[in-house]
Structure 1
Amino acid sequence: MTLDPVIRLRLSTMMFLEFFVWGAWFVTLGTYLASDLGASGSQIALAFLTQSLGAILAPFIVGLIADRFFAAQRILGVLHLFSAVMLFLAGRQDDFGAFFVFSLLAMISFMPTLALANSISFRRMQSPERQFPSVRVFGTIGWIVAGLLIGWLGWETGGLLANTFVMAAIGSALLGVYAFTLPHTPPEQTDGPTTVRDILGLDALALLKTRSYLVFFIASILICIPLAFYYNFTNLYLNEIGVQRAAALQSLGQVSEALFLLIMPLMLKRLGIKKTLLLGMIAWALRYTLFAFGDAGSLLWIVVIGLLLHGICYDCFFVAGQIYTDRFAPAKVRSAAQGLISLATYGVGLLIGSLISGPIVDAFIAADGTHEWRAIWLIPAGLAVLVTLFFATLFKEKEAPEPAAVQS
């Protein structure tokens, strides 16, 4: 069963722009704040926390507004047009307080569009488990292109990172207009009113009564605490140690993500859920250790390996975790379960990680004003090891039902 080529092209374009917008400003955000606004580590972490706040509020926006009253493509367009204005204004601020307000508004409007883009895609597919990955991969390509453009234009070394907000705003405005041309995706017909319990996926909490899923759920929150260090400070780290075109180099992580996404079904078949999840966690700890001992000179290859591990870190935990949740949850609560795990990871886990990573980075400032990155990176490496041991000891894969067809 194949997807209509025209529909595939239109959905792929949507995904490309969706993640181009995100990658255009979020990757280099820490470096921009430190260099242009003189922000501290705590302030940088606070800025990245806007992603978590957006993720927490997203179910309300999608569940209360988009799913009930408006066609998905229209609310996608409105949110992106609003986000475009907020991104443009954020890049024109001279103090952190004003910047935080506009970036928060941008993220509150952007994070719900991730679910809306998926919804628009799924509604046009007869076999999402087979057809969606080849469309979603264009989102990863969009993120890569954004990083390559920043590197090619020399905005990091030239002190011109404010331009990234203009680029992101243009991309968001383009998608905002383009969204209104997408296939009509009206609200799903439901029996009775949508409740707060439905929106938050509280019916899926019953899954936590099973020990293994509870262990997985807790591990998902905990592993996102060290993940915040990667999202918040990798670009600043690369620029401080003297890596040229850092944003472009970071795109290697998304290349790796795309490749591992394609082989994920095979990995799950050969390794099973537990070993795949553990592989992702171990890669997390290894990545931070490599960052701790790498440099921009003869040991740059170590840093590059650490960046390439992003595909294993992300796909072997997040994607495999989504598949595990889909297998484990009864059909009637699968959507709610996916929403709950997203809220736990991108919301709660990254929020905690952002709150603790900033003060830790501030505690390791050298005399010359740079950071003692070895000491910093070994902390999330240690946290990842502890989470790995917790999961390896307590998770029992045999409690899960027999797997159905592998989905991604």
Structure 2
Amino acid sequence: MLDSLTRTRLSAMMCLEFFVWGAWFVTLGTYLASDLEATGSQIALAFLTQSLGAILAPFIVGLIADRFFAAQRILGVLHLFSAVMLFLAGRQEDFGPFFVFALLAMVSFMPTLALANSISFRRMESPERQFPSVRVFGTIGWIIAGLLIGWLGWETGGALSNTFVMAAIGSALLGVYAFTLPHTPPEPSDGPATVRDILGLDALALLKSRSYLVFFIASILICIPLAFYYNFTNLYLNEIGVPRAAAVQSLGQLSEAGFLLLMPLMLRKLGVKKTLLIGMLAWAARYAMFALGDSGSLLWLVVIGLLLHGVCYDFFFVAGQIYTDRFAPARVRSAAQGLISLATYGVGLLIGSLISGPIVDAFLAADGTHDWIPIWLVPAALALLVAIFFGSMFREQQTADAIGGGDGAGRADVAT
């Protein structure tokens, strides 16, 4: 049972988790372009560190959280290490050394997303109802980070290196706090650990289901256009002259908070397929609005595009995490969360980063700014194509037991 004290403790964990991420990642593209004079391809390469960390996440989580070590302890260790790496990244004056420290920070940070989810889900009887009200505090943490950056004027004052100090402090605080979280030991297991257990490969059995396979492929594909948003939205807002861009960008997180609270109702009323499909279509609409908007009379299009973040993120990522937890057998739920992180933040964003950088560079103007209309139309078209693929192929009709994961702990049937 999720009592009020446990809910508060998990909510604080989520708040710090996403504060750390939002404190430096939102303005990373602007920081690299202005302070380190990075090209679009270098900016995309820096964001690719997120993908590399996510690719390693299933193996780290499969080793430590599903088999050997308590999840909250490893969460603490990883955040303490990440704090040091973030601080050192912000001290660098050249892109090469910065990339090394940013990569180490992300390799240690990305597994913590799956660990935080796993710690939360293990305390919940009904994650589809209880998780959104806890996860919403992660959104609040991200908003606080953006508002602080805007209030302190770090974007316009050329002081974005301070964001790495702020992120490092938040990561260190969470690293210490994690050791006070509810004890989350590995699930009981039959027999000795195997190589499959250590690498978290048992979660790959979920892909035997056509439904989950289509969801997994769509998760990879939708994150290709997503890379354009993560990598270049803050640079776009600053280039078109939107004041306090990081604070304005936090409108997306305000929307995310609202839609998170609606998520249980949406899943009940719409089912998994329609919820995920709406999220994908919202990405296409958002990019189209960015392409058409400006900082003058059409600023309202940019604002609506930012407000669509709640639909884009919650209706796909959060719904997907809940779907994965409901679908996976109990013994591999942590690894399954790592697997979906690999698909989205790992493989999908990696491909997207490799594609988005050269496209942004191709539309660089002589004055150092970019022609954003064709840049945003590319991910708009990609998101629409992914939505068509998912809508035509996905069927929500199987449970964990149906794919051979029948350990008696599968959650309710995911069919509608």
TM-score by length of structure 1 reads 0.91
User: Which residue of structure 2 aligns with residue 280 of structure 1?
Assistant: 279
Residues 278, 388 of structure 1: 8 Å contact kept: yes
Q: How do 1:136-285 residues align onto structure 2 when only pairs under 5 Å count? A: 136-285=135-284
Q: How do 1:4-43 residues align onto structure 2 when only pairs under 5 Å count? A: 4-43=3-42
Q: CA deviation at 1:220?
A: 1.4
Letter in 2 for 1:175: L
Letter in 2 for 1:193: P
How has the CA–CA distance of structure 1 residues 209 and 85 changed in structure 2, closer, same or farther, with 3 Å as cutoff?
closer
Q: CA deviation at 1:21?
A: 0.7
Letter in 1 for 2:299: L
Equivalences, count: 405
CA RMSD of aligned residues (A): 2.4
Tell me which moved more, 27-36 or 379-388: 379-388
Q: Give the distance between the partners of 1:324 and 1:71, measured in 2 at CA.
A: 24
Residues 279, 315 of structure 2: 8 Å contact kept: yes
Whether 1:50 aligns to 2:49 is yes
Residues 56, 343 of structure 1: 8 Å contact kept: yes
User: Which residue of structure 2 aligns with residue 385 of structure 1?
Assistant: 384
User: Which residue of structure 1 aligns with residue 294 of structure 2?
Assistant: 295
How has the CA–CA distance of structure 1 residues 220 and 70 changed in structure 2, closer, same or farther, with 3 Å as cutoff?
closer
Aligned to 1:94, what secondary structure does the other structure show? coil
How has the CA–CA distance of structure 1 residues 316 and 183 changed in structure 2, closer, same or farther, with 3 Å as cutoff?
closer
Residues 64, 194 of structure 1: 8 Å contact kept: no
Post-superposition CA distance 1:59-93 (Å, at most 9, x none): 22233245444433332222212111111110010
Q: How do 1:271-350 residues align onto structure 2 when only pairs under 5 Å count? A: 271-329=270-328, 336-350=335-349
Aligned to 1:190, what secondary structure does the other structure show? coil
Post-superposition CA distance 1:236-288 (Å, at most 9, x none): 10011111111111111111112112112222333333322221111111100
Aligned to 1:283, what secondary structure does the other structure show? helix
How has the CA–CA distance of structure 1 residues 79 and 334 changed in structure 2, closer, same or farther, with 3 Å as cutoff?
closer
Q: CA deviation at 1:392?
A: 2.5
Letter in 2 for 1:119: S
Residues 59, 199 of structure 1: 8 Å contact kept: no
Q: CA deviation at 1:213?
A: 3.4
Residues 133, 260 of structure 2: 8 Å contact kept: no
Letter in 2 for 1:352: I
Residues 120, 131 of structure 2: 8 Å contact kept: yes
Q: CA deviation at 1:174?
A: 1.4
Letter in 2 for 1:22: W
Q: CA deviation at 1:184?
A: 3.6
Q: CA deviation at 1:215?
A: 2.6
Q: Give the distance between the partners of 1:265 and 1:172, measured in 2 at CA.
A: 30
Tell me which moved more, 192-201 or 346-355: 192-201
How has the CA–CA distance of structure 1 residues 171 and 332 changed in structure 2, closer, same or farther, with 3 Å as cutoff?
closer
Q: Give the distance between the partners of 1:71 and 1:333, measured in 2 at CA.
A: 14
How has the CA–CA distance of structure 1 residues 5 and 325 changed in structure 2, closer, same or farther, with 3 Å as cutoff?
closer
Residues 89, 102 of structure 1: 8 Å contact kept: yes
How has the CA–CA distance of structure 1 residues 208 and 180 changed in structure 2, closer, same or farther, with 3 Å as cutoff?
closer
How has the CA–CA distance of structure 1 residues 170 and 155 changed in structure 2, closer, same or farther, with 3 Å as cutoff?
same
Q: Give the distance between the partners of 2:330 and 2:69, measured in 1 at CA.
A: 26
Residues 200, 339 of structure 1: 8 Å contact kept: no
Q: Give the distance between the partners of 1:175 and 1:96, measured in 2 at CA.
A: 28
Q: CA deviation at 1:201?
A: 4.6
Q: CA deviation at 1:335?
A: 5.0
Q: Give the distance between the partners of 1:66 and 1:177, measured in 2 at CA.
A: 18
User: Which residue of structure 1 aligns with residue 77 of structure 2?
Assistant: 78
User: Which residue of structure 2 aligns with residue 117 of structure 1?
Assistant: 116
Percent identity over the alignment is 86
Q: Give the distance between the partners of 1:127 and 1:396, measured in 2 at CA.
A: 23
Letter in 2 for 1:37: L
User: Which residue of structure 2 aligns with residue 99 of structure 1?
Assistant: 98
Q: CA deviation at 1:217?
A: 2.2
Q: Give the distance between the partners of 1:189 and 1:400, measured in 2 at CA.
A: 25
Letter in 2 for 1:348: V
Q: CA deviation at 1:125?
A: 4.2
Q: Give the distance between the partners of 1:15 and 1:388, measured in 2 at CA.
A: 29
Tell me which moved more, 96-105 or 14-23: 14-23
Q: Give the distance between the partners of 1:99 and 1:202, measured in 2 at CA.
A: 32
Q: Give the distance between the partners of 1:27 and 1:146, measured in 2 at CA.
A: 9
Letter in 2 for 1:248: A
Q: Give the distance between the partners of 1:232 and 1:52, measured in 2 at CA.
A: 12
How has the CA–CA distance of structure 1 residues 359 and 262 changed in structure 2, closer, same or farther, with 3 Å as cutoff?
same
How has the CA–CA distance of structure 1 residues 267 and 13 changed in structure 2, closer, same or farther, with 3 Å as cutoff?
closer
Aligned to 2:241, what secondary structure does the other structure show? coil
Aligned to 2:250, what secondary structure does the other structure show? helix
How has the CA–CA distance of structure 1 residues 46 and 316 changed in structure 2, closer, same or farther, with 3 Å as cutoff?
same
Letter in 2 for 1:86: M
User: Which residue of structure 1 aligns with residue 407 of structure 2?
Assistant: none
Q: Give the distance between the partners of 2:71 and 2:367, measured in 1 at CA.
A: 51
TM-score by length of structure 2 reads 0.90
Letter in 2 for 1:109: S
Q: Give the distance between the partners of 1:268 and 1:183, measured in 2 at CA.
A: 28
